[in-house]
Structure 1
C-alpha cells in the first residue's frame, strides 16, 4: 500500500473526468507528469518508477479540470455520410450513395472523384473506409517502390492498418527475407506531400534502423526538409483519427 492509495501497475487505466488515463512508467522521467495522446484521445500519466504510479494517479485526479479542457479541445468525431466532401491525398472526393459494391470513380473534367457506397450508418462508413484503405494501399505502395529503388534497397511488402500510435512502421528483412512496411490508412486523408514524406521516412529505415544523422540524410535526399510534414501530423493527426468515429 502506498501513501497515495492502492498499488498500480504499468499500463493500468483510470477514468478521470470521463476521460481514460493510462499509467506509464518511464525510468528516464525525472518527475510525475501528464500528457495528452491526441490520436488515442486519452491522457498518459507518467511516473519515473513503479512505486510512484499511485502518485501519478493522484496527480491525474487533481488535474481533472485540465484533463477535461484538453479533451474538449480535440476535434469532434467525424461521422461518415453521403454528401461529405473529403480530401484524399489532397484532392476533393465526394461521398455518394450507390448500389452494388462500393467503388471509386476518378475525377473527370469539373467533376471531382467520388466514392460510391450503399447502406447507411455504420455499414455505409465501413464501405467507404474499405475504399479509402484500398486507395491508401495503392498510392503508398507505389511511393514505397519508388523510394526503395532510389535508395538501392529491395522493395518491401506493403500493408495498411488502423494503427493508433504510428503513421508507419518498418520491419527489416531478416536472413535475406523481405522487409515489410505498414502504414496507417488514414494517411489517405492527409495532403499527398505529408503521406509521401511518411513513405520516404519508412523507406529510409530499410537502410538505417534508427533516427540518427545518416537516417535523416536519406529522408532529406528523398523529400527535402521533413519538419513541415512532421509538424502537420502533430497538429492535424487527431483530426485524421477522428474520421469515422
Structure 2
C-alpha cells in the first residue's frame, strides 16, 4: 500500500495559499449599489475617492499593495458621502438628434436622416462639424458612438504609428474601450488600449496620450527616463496632460446607449 506520509508532509511544509483577495466591485448605498473602480497608483499615499461623471461609478485611487479589506472598510465609512454627491450629480446627457458634442477640440452637431445608410461627418467650418446618421431612431446614439469610434481609431493609429517609429518598436495591437478610470494603457508585450472618447478632445491631448502609451514600449514605469522620453515624443506634453486632468471628465457626461 502506497504511503500517504510524503503527501501529508508536503501539505504541512507548503500549505496551499489562500485564494487571492479582490477589491470590492460595488458599494452598497442602502437599497442601491454602485460600481466601484479601483486604481492602484505607485505615488498614492492614501485612498482617495471621487464620483464618476453622472454618478455612474465610484472611483478610488489607492496606494500599491493596499488590502481589499481596508478598501472595503473605507467604502463603508464613506457611503454617506457618496449618497450626498449622488443627490447633487447632474444626469448624463443622452445623445439625440441635435446634440452638440465636443469633437477634435471643436464641435460636432448630430443629425438624423431617414433612409441614410452610412454615417457621414462633414466639416462646416474651422472646428465645426456635422454628423448625419440614419437607420432606426432608437439606435441613434449607438450609431453616433460607432462613428466616433471609427474616427478615434484612425486618429490614434496615425499618432501611435508616428511615435512608434520614433522609438523603433511597433504595437502588437490597439484596442478601443470606454473606460472611466484611465485614458490609455500599455502591456509589457506592447498591446495598447485607449478610451475612444479621446477623439472628442483637442488633437494635442490625443497626441500626448498616444505618446504616453508608446513611451511605455521603452519604459514600463513612470520614472524620470519615461517622462523624458514622453516629452521627446510630444514636446507639447504638459498642455495635453493638463487638459486631460482638468477637462477630460467632461467627455464622460454623454450617454450613447
* TM-score of the superposed pair, with normalisation by structure 2: 0.73
Q: Determine the C-alpha separation between the residues in 2 that align with 1:108 and 1:220.
A: 34
Report the Cα offset of residue 83 of structure 1.
1.5
Q: 1:14 aligns to what?
A: 27
Q: 2:49 aligns to what?
A: 35
Q: 1:161 aligns to what?
A: 177
Which structure 2 segments of 5+ residues have no match? 1-20
Q: Determine the C-alpha separation between the residues in 2 that align with 1:55 and 1:88.
A: 40
**Among 136, 147, 167, which residue is 2:152 paired with?**
136
Structure 1 residues 156 and 24, CA gap change in structure 2 (3 angstroms): closer
Larger gyration radius, structure 1 or structure 2: 2
Aligned residues: 228
Q: 2:5 aligns to what?
A: none
Q: Determine the C-alpha separation between the residues in 2 that align with 1:140 and 1:23.
A: 25
CA contact (8 A) 1:96 1:117 kept: yes
Structure 1 residues 15 and 78, CA gap change in structure 2 (3 angstroms): same
* TM-score of the superposed pair, with normalisation by structure 1: 0.76
- Are residues 1:224 and 2:240 paired? no
SS at 2:97's partner residue? coil
- Are residues 1:197 and 2:208 paired? yes
CA contact (8 A) 1:19 1:68 kept: no
Please give the root-mean-square deviation of Cα atoms over the aligned residues, in Å. Answer: 3.4
Q: Determine the C-alpha separation between the residues in 1 that align with 2:25 and 2:246.
A: 27
Q: Determine the C-alpha separation between the residues in 2 that align with 1:24 and 1:110.
A: 39
Q: 2:100 aligns to what?
A: 85
Q: Determine the C-alpha separation between the residues in 2 that align with 1:54 and 1:150.
A: 44
Report the Cα offset of residue 95 of structure 1.
0.7
Which structure 1 segments of 5+ residues have no match? 1-7, 174-178
